[in-house]
Structures are given as C-alpha cells and as structure tokens.
Chains A and B, each alone.
Chain A
Amino acid sequence: MALPQAKQDATEARITALSLPEGGWADPARRDALARVRAMGLPNARDEYWKFTRPDTLVAAEAPAAATMDSGEAPLFDSRDRLKLVFVDGVFSPEESDDLSLEGVTIDRLAEAKDIHWAKDLYGVLEARAQSPVARPLAALNTAFASDGLLIHVTGKPSKPISLIYRHVSDRSDAILHHVVKVDPGAEATILENGPAAARFNKCMEVDVAEGACLHHIRAQGRDHERRAATHIFARLEKESVFKSFTLTVNGAMTRNEVVVEFTGDDAVAHVAGACMGDGDFHHDDTVFVTHDAVNCESRQVFKKVLRNGATGVFQGKILVKPDAQKTDGYQISQSLLLDGDSQFLAKPELEIYADDVACSHGSTSGAIDEDGLFYLRARGVPRGTAEDLLTIAFIAEAVQEVEDESLQEDLVERVAGWLARRRD
C-alpha cells in the first residue's frame, strides 16, 4: 500500500538530511533497514501508536536546538568502579574512555568493527523482527543511519559494570547511536547508561541473552530540560535467561522509550521498569511490548511517573501471549502521581492472550499525594516539603526495587532525593 504523500515527503526529507555510512559489514543491514523505513514511513500524529505522543520533533529533518545543562552535580555512578565508555554528542571518545579491555567481555566500536564480526548476526536483526505486529520506523531509521555505537560481547562475568556515559556539548547535536549486546550462555554483566546524550538522540540497543545468561541494564536520562529522545531496546531471551532493565528519567521536553522483549526460550525472566519525574514542559512516553513465545516465562513491567505543572506521562504496555506459551506469568503496572491538577497521565495497558494456562494481570492508576500520609508525617514534625519528597520517593520505590543490586538502588534514590530537595531550595 502506498504511503500518504505527506508521510512519504516527511520521510524523504529526514532521509535526505542524513548520510548512509558505507563500506563495512553492516552495509546490507543498513540498506535493508532503509528500505523498511521507506516502506513504513516515519511516524506522524495520525498513527495509532503515536496517539499520545507527537513524533514531529523526533522525525523533523533538522533537530530542534536544545541547550546543554550543567547540573552542577557529580555524574551518577561516578564513585563506582566501572569500565567507562564515553560518547560526546553521540561520538565515541577514546580519550575520555577507559581501555576497551575487560576480562569476560570484548567491545568494539560499530564504526571500526572488522568485516567478520559476530554482530553481523544481530545488527538490525532484532530490530527487524520487532517491526511486526507494530511498526517502529524510528528504530529502522537508526539501524540504517547509526554513525556510532558499541558492540559488546559478554563471554564471561566481567568484574565491573560496563558504563556508557553520554555528554551533550553542542546545542544542535543530532545523534544516532546503535549498540549491540550479545551475552553468551551462562555469562552475566551489568550495563549502566547515564548522562544527557545530545540535543536530539535516537538510540537503539539490541540485546541477545543466551541460555542461562543474565543482563542487568540500569539507565538514567536527564537532567537536561530540552532534550528530545527516541530510544529502543530490543531484547531476545533464550532458555532460562534473565534480562532486567530499569530507567530513571528526569526532565526532557520529549522522551519516548520503547522496550520490546521476546521470549524464545522456556523458563526465562524479563523485568522492565522505569521511574520518571517531570515538571512543566515535560513529555515522557514508555512504550513496552512483551511477546511470550515460550513456556513458563515471567515478565514484569513496573512504571511510575511523578508529574506536575502540566507535565505529561504516557504508558503503552502490551503483553502478547502466543498459543504455545503456556504457564506464562505476566504482570504490568503503571501508576502516576499527579502533584497538581494540570498534569496528565495517559495509559493504554493491553493484554492479548492465546494460551489458556497463563497468569497475567495489569493495573493502571493516577492519584494525588496521600493526604493522610502527609498529615501523619507532618504531625511528627516533618516539614510539608520534606514530607512530600518522602512520599514521592516512596511512590517510585516499587519501580526502583526492580533493580537487583541494592547499592545501585541506593545511588538512584539518593540522586532523586537530592533533586527533590534542591528543587525546594
């Protein structure tokens, strides 16, 4: 079916503004992805999947400018022993990064990887698989045009987290990054991501978790106010594997985080969680799609949003259970704390189940701060502002607790507490 002319024009305008990297092993994958983009067209406001989030600034040929922000605070995870890999406006910086060597993992730059490379079997492959039943054209655009990224092959159990650090330097940076992560059978690693990446950021991460392997992913987005970001995670889980991803988001004019999980092996576990806090001109969208196509797998989606001064939060979450995916255990909760009457939370929870022996549940709520709790805290002498902060942290706690490492949980909560306290000063 031919695309509407307007959509076709917008798509071509975006493609024309980019140049296709050429001359490497990824060429065929990039060309296929470009064909996918042309066939699907980039999203516009009429697309059902973009009903609650306007894609125009994410799609525009030119990125809207976004001021950089000096938060004046030490970057998150700074005190931790980790392998530091730094990107400045979407370009890997060897000078600012650690040596790419760590026992139990091999890391290459997408831009430099040799022709015979394991990533050839994954680059754009998981993204392409995830284009049905719902199109994700911004991810295909990413596969075609990504100019940098890391290919991370976890072969053992690295002694420290692999830490991707983003730095936003130019007001007009428009970065497209694509990471591929392959975790071998029985291997286990933690990937951290934090920092403002660019004025506009399109990022994909394809994750293949092999039998008995485990990947923890903890990400922090913010605190840059004017950022626009579209990110995708595509995770494929094989037998008895574990994938846990948590995202903390603060500020940002437009953030769309999509996570697509596919269970292909039995007895696997995937948890996807997020907490976001937004104020004023803030739009945050979590879109999650979990496909159960194997027996006895467990999936959890836990999303919490704290919104005020007209901020908007969106959650679109789906659990699809295929006919043979018996004994599926699926759970989904999305909640918002609306600190005033101006903010809004839009949720579209979906279950689609074709197997008969499954346990799936979902829930979605919006509420104000608990007045009884507030009075109780104040009656003990806790000032109103501090009491509200405590209750806000309590609200996001269920999502933060999805992070398995308690010291990382503490880092995240401490950071949130600091933000809340400073907001009052």
Chain B
Amino acid sequence: MLEIKNLHVKLEEEDKQILKGVDLTVEAGKVHAIMGPNGSGKSTLSYVLSGRDGYEVTDGSATLLGEDLLDMEVEDRAAAGLFLAFQYPVEIPGVGNMTFLRTAVNAQRKARGEEEMSSAEFLKVIRARAKDLKIDAEMLKRPVNVGFSGGEKKRNEILQMAMLEPKMCILDETDSGLDVDAMKLVADGVNALRDEGRGFLVITHYQRLLDHIKPDVVHIMANGRIIKTGGPELALEVEQNGYADILEEVA
C-alpha cells in the first residue's frame, strides 16, 4: 500500500535535516503505529507524505499503490487515496462543514473519473456517518472547525475520513487534546473503517490510543529514523520504561 524508502527530508528555509533515511512499508489491511519522542520527525513524515509546503525531499521515495506520491499535487494525493487526519485541524470561517465535505467528496470522485454524488445521496450517507460519531446537524452546518472543541475537531476529522473512504489513512497525534471518552469515540470511528483494503499509519506519543486502536506493527522513531520495529508489545515497553532504554539500546 504505502512504501517509503530511504526518505531524506530537510526544511526548505533552513539547512536542517529532519528525516534521515526512513524505510517503512504499510500493507493493506494493517495498522502500523509510529511512536517516538518530540522532535523525532513523526509529524514531518505525515506532512511530507501529504504534500505540505516547506519541506524538501533530498533523497529516497514514497509510493502509494505503486504511484510516486512525492511527485503529485496535494489534491491528487488525496484523490489517489491518501488521507491525513490533522493534529491541529484548521478552522475555515465562512465555509460550511457540509459544503466543504460535499465539495471534497465530489472533487475526488471527479478526479478519479467517477460519478459525482447527488445531494440526496450525500445527505443520507453523511447523516448516518455523523450519527455514529455523535456529530449533530448543527455541527455539520457550522463553518469548518470554527468554535469546535478539541474533541469535536478530531471527530470531524474522522467523519471526513469516513466520507472520503481513503485507502491509506495517516493519523497525526489524533489523541492529543482528547479526554478518555472522546478518545474512545474517535477510536471506534477509526476501527469501524478498518478493512482488508485499507492501511493505517497511527502517529502517537502515548500508548493509550493503541489500547483502543490495536496496531499490527509498532515502530519507534528517533532523530529522523525508524530505530526499532516490533509488535504491540513494543508500545507497552515504551509506556513502562519511556524511550530512553530503547534509544540507549540502539545507540
């Protein structure tokens, strides 16, 4: 599904190398988690994959279903099936949540040469998906993320994911700013989307999100590289001992 090879990335504006050779393969149907201390490059990886400005790839590659991601426009990556759940979802005053989502769904369909969704069909689907995430009609009408609480913003990300039905989902610290109940709601939303044909990359600081979204593979990232890969037990090890032991071990 997602194949990253020897990815080197630096900041565009300054001479600072952030990723120093990341290798990672996420298979369809699998959930991979990336954990790591602050500044290890986790979020940069998610931004580079989704195409945010400000980064320069100096070496390596990233493909989605064999297509070169790094060569595509941001919107084309989305249409190809990549989805990033933002750590800090952006507020867009003046654009209704519903308008935004319908525009996005139909833009992706159009880009893929599929038929656009009719208003009636869209309404039916979004109402059902919103209900599962406890998102009420009022929230759908409001401008995108404006005045939403932290939990509402993250639920809104998952709603977008559910509507866009991407092939590869990257969740960037989706647990940050969530209380236990909100985290469970978000995790349930993600679990409902787990599917044979869909891959997940869950980026997190803490193990607790992984109690709810059970990963198949856990990677530890530090200083721009993946330094250790293992099963779910690796997350528990981090929870108990912190990153220090692992960092020492590989040093």
Interface positions of A (Cβ within 8 A of B)? 370-373, 375-384, 386-387, 390-391, 393-395, 397-398
CA distance A382 to B95 in the complex (A): 13
List, in ascending order, chain A residues with CB within 8 A of B92's CB. 370, 373, 376-377, 390-391, 394
B98 at the interface (CB under 8 A from A): no
List, in ascending order, chain A residues with CB within 8 A of B164's CB. 380-381
Given contacts A372-B90, A386-B103, contact A378 B78 (CB under 8 A): yes
For chain B, the bracket of interface size reads: 20 to 34
Interface of A, helix, strand, loop or mixed by DSSP: helix
List, in ascending order, chain B residues with CB within 8 A of A387's CB. 75
A391 touches B73 (CB 8 A): no
B29 at the interface (CB under 8 A from A): no
B5 at the interface (CB under 8 A from A): no
Q: Give the residue of A371, A373, A382, A394 whose beta carbon is less than 8 angstroms from that of B103.
A: A382
A376 touches B89 (CB 8 A): yes
Instruction: Please give me the residue from chain A that is nearest to B77 by CB atom.
Output: A379
CA distance A365 to B93 in the complex (A): 16
User: CB-CB contacts of B62-92 with A at 8 A, as 1s and 0s?
Assistant: 0000000000011101110000101001111
List, in ascending order, chain A residues with CB within 8 A of B77's CB. 379
Given contacts A377-B100, A382-B103, A386-B103, contact A394 B90 (CB under 8 A): no
CA distance A290 to B73 in the complex (A): 48
B107 at the interface (CB under 8 A from A): yes
Given A380-B164, A381-B164, A395-B94, 5 further pairs, Cβ under 8 A? A378-B73, A379-B50, A381-B105, A381-B108, A383-B111
CA distance A371 to B51 in the complex (A): 13
CA distance A387 to B104 in the complex (A): 10
B90 touches A381 (CB 8 A): no
A376 touches B90 (CB 8 A): yes
A380 touches B111 (CB 8 A): no
Question: Can you spell out 26 A-B residue pairs with CB atoms less than 8 angstroms apart?
Answer: A370-B92, A371-B53, A373-B91, A376-B86, A377-B104, A378-B78, A379-B52, A379-B78, A379-B84, A380-B101, A380-B160, A381-B75, A381-B78, A381-B104, A381-B105, A381-B107, A381-B111, A382-B75, A383-B111, A386-B103, A386-B107, A390-B100, A391-B92, A391-B95, A394-B94, A398-B94
CA distance A398 to B94 in the complex (A): 8
List, in ascending order, chain A residues with CB within 8 A of B53's CB. 371, 375
CA distance A393 to B94 in the complex (A): 7
List, in ascending order, chain A residues with CB within 8 A of B103's CB. 382, 386, 390
A382 touches B104 (CB 8 A): yes
A386 to chain B, nearest CB (A): 6
CA distance A135 to B183 in the complex (A): 64
Given contacts A375-B53, A390-B100, A390-B103, contact A384 B75 (CB under 8 A): yes
Q: Which of B73, B90, B94, B108 has the most CB of A within 10 A?
A: B94
B171 to chain A, nearest CB (A): 13
CA distance A394 to B94 in the complex (A): 4
List, in ascending order, chain B residues with CB within 8 A of A370's CB. 92
CA distance A106 to B90 in the complex (A): 52
List, in ascending order, chain B residues with CB within 8 A of A383's CB. 75, 107, 111
A379 touches B93 (CB 8 A): no
